[in-house]
Amino acid sequence: MSFFTNWLESIIAFLLLAAVVDLLLPSNRFQQYAKVVIGLLLLFIMLQPLWKILSVDIEEKLAEWADSTITDQQAATAAISKQSSLESSKELFILKESEQQLQALVENDLKQTFHKEIVDINIQVEKWENSLPKNIERIDVYMAPISDRAGKAYVKEISIDASKQAEPGQKEERELASFLSKKWNIPTEQLNIHMVEEGDSLG
């Protein structure tokens, strides 16, 4: 705004000066040359804003714009990475809390009815939505007889297929799966029961 005001003042002052000079000069050929010079000077003054724009270092401005763009992109990338890390931590916390709640929900009944306890629970989530589990793929449940928990353990996966008739050795595992399915309101097809036996290490 200050530049524009000064520019207008310069034009007005020059016009006044040109008028005074025109009055003082005699009416001859020299006056015609003077008018040409005055006209060129006036044109130069009027084009000052254009010279101001053209005098800007374009390469410098482009470099500043590029640096600003890169900085913004880096900030956005860092923000996304931080958000992703926070979401992963939140999801892990939710999983662990859910596993503990599931275990606490059936702990007493398992001991009293089946004389077993849960060694570990792993929930596999198929899809998350807003850091909350939307679809559960499966739940792996590791169990052991109460008397065997003092020793080492071996993991033996029990495959549960409702379409096949249960073998005598799988009857208890099916009963456990049915019990957990009702307690947790989860289909038996999503439950994988792993029996932990005494003698070897878990893993």
Domain boundaries, the chain: 2-55, 92-198
Each residue of 133-190: pLDDT tens digit?
667 788 888 888 886 444 444 444 444 454 455 454 477 788 888 999 999 888 888 8
pLDDT in the model for residue 7: 66
One-character DSSP codes across 157-201? EE---TTSPPPGGGHHHHHHHHHHHHHHT--GGGEEEEEEEETS-
pLDDT tens digits, 70-119? 666 665 665 565 555 556 777 778 888 888 888 999 999 889 888 888 88
- Token pair for residue 145? 């007889």
- Helices 2-24 and 29-46 pack at an angle, to 10 degrees, of 180
The token pair at 12 is: 């007005």
User: Residue 163 has what pLDDT?
Assistant: 45
- The phi and psi torsions of 127 (rounded to 5 degrees) equal -150, 140
Give 92-198's CATH code, choosing from 3.40.50, 3.30.300, 2.60.40, 3.30.1180: 3.30.300
